[in-house]
Amino acid sequence: MINSRIDTEIDGKLINSDEFYRKATAWANKVRALAKANTAAFTRGKSKPRIHTKNTKWHKRGDKENLLANAISYNIKEASGVVEGFKFIFPRHGIFRAYGVGSGQPISGGTGKNIKIKRSMSDWIDAPIDRNIEKLADISAEFYGDQFCISTYNAMKKQ
């Protein structure tokens, strides 16, 4: 015979929205540190930041183009005080480095005219995210699992 009684007390530590935010921030910091370490392997390219002096389609006069390793950051999106998403922010040239394009290098297939530099792809941002995404899933499952139990069964932490 199956016991139909549902226990309304939870063993262990409950994770609240503040703890969830703290753990999510720690996760994002780890991913950013790994991405920065990956960019340290780039031996070619800019050795110092560059100031744009011309008006172009993407840059305004006086904009400073940062080194990739120094310009990686993130934002955490929240809804009703709960972490809802992440956005990693880096300069435009970071995506070109990831896909191995620029200076006449074709994006994919085909051939470019006047190829000056042979570039290779570098999975500097996606790889750290992929390697650590299960940890973020565990943090999220812990928080949302606790919230589900509390809201559905009016469960409370055991004293």
pLDDT digits (tens, 9 = 90+) for 105-150: 555 555 555 555 566 677 899 999 999 999 999 999 999 988 888 8
Domain spans in the chain, listed from the N-terminal domain onward: 12-157
Q: What's the DSSP call for residue 32?
A: H
Q: Which residue has the tokens 């899933």?
A: 137
Comparing CA positions, the residue from 10, 18, 4 lying closest to residue 154 is 10
pLDDT single digits (tens) 31-58: 999 999 998 877 665 556 666 665 555 5
**d(C-alpha 49, C-alpha 30), whole Å:** 25
Dihedral sign for Cα 86, 91, 97, 99, please. positive
**d(C-alpha 127, C-alpha 148), whole Å:** 32
Q: Of all residues in the chain, what percent carry a pLDDT higher than 90?
A: 35
What is the radius of gyration, based on Cα positions, of the chain? 23
What mean pLDDT do residues 61-84 have? 82
25: amino acid identity, one letter:
T
**d(C-alpha 128, C-alpha 31), whole Å:** 6
CB atoms within 10 A of CB 35: 22
The yes-or-no verdict on residue 97 having pLDDT over 70 is yes
Please, what is the Cα angle at 130 between 127 and 132, to 5 degrees?
A: 110
Average the pLDDT over each of 36-45, 62-71, 150-159 and give the range with the smallest value: 150-159
Q: At 71, is the pLDDT very low, low, confident or very high (cuts 50, 70, 90)?
A: confident
Per DSSP, what are the bridge partners of residue 43? none
Per-residue pLDDT, 78: 93
The yes-or-no verdict on residue 99 having pLDDT over 80 is no
